[in-house]
Amino acid sequence: MAYTINRKAHVVDEIHLEDNGKELTVKVDLQVERIMRDYNAAWAKIGQAQQKIKDLRTTTDGMAEAEAALGEAIMTLFALLFGKEQVTAIMDFYDGAYLEMLADFVPYISEKIVPAVQRAQTDLMAKYKRWTR
């Protein structure tokens, strides 16, 4: 009898963007276990950059650097989730407005990607527990 191994945590989807006749389809083909660690780190960098901007609200010193760090963190997350080539197309679609881009994509990420990452993390922890018995 053969032993069967099934790969899990694979997200395949399409996201359709529309704006006054301009359209873009983003293809999602994501091996969740492969990106879990980097995904969590990317979200952490976004949170840190947002906090830095919040802390700088009363001054302009360092604001440009903080905004650049936030943009870079968002681009890192998007490159991880959608691939570098598609990120370029997405940024072109949004005319470089990365905060609007993030705000528009957060519902998709929350509904599709986050649950897949959480399931993959839970499954991986269960496997580790079985292996270490």
pLDDT at 98: 87
Q: How far apart are CA 72 and CA 38, in angstroms?
A: 14
Q: How far apart are CA 53 and CA 56, in angstroms?
A: 5
pLDDT at 57: 80
pLDDT at 100: 94
Residue 113 lies inside a defined structural domain of this protein: yes
pLDDT at 9: 67
DSSP strands (E only) in 20-112: 22-31
Residue 18 lies inside a defined structural domain of this protein: yes
Full residue range of the structural domain in which residue 83 is found: 11-123
Q: What is the pLDDT along the chain (133 residues), one digit of tens a residue?
A: 888 776 666 889 999 999 999 999 999 998 888 888 899 899 999 999 999 988 888 777 888 898 899 999 999 999 999 999 999 999 999 999 988 999 999 999 999 999 988 888 888 888 778 777 6
Q: What is residue 20's three-state secondary structure?
A: coil
Helix 63-82, helix 98-108: angle, nearest 10: 40
The number of residues in the chain equals 133
Residue 87 lies inside a defined structural domain of this protein: yes
Contact 56, 88 (CB under 8 A): no
The number of distinct structural domains making up the chain is 1
Residue 64 lies inside a defined structural domain of this protein: yes
Q: What is residue 111's three-state secondary structure?
A: helix
pLDDT at 8: 65
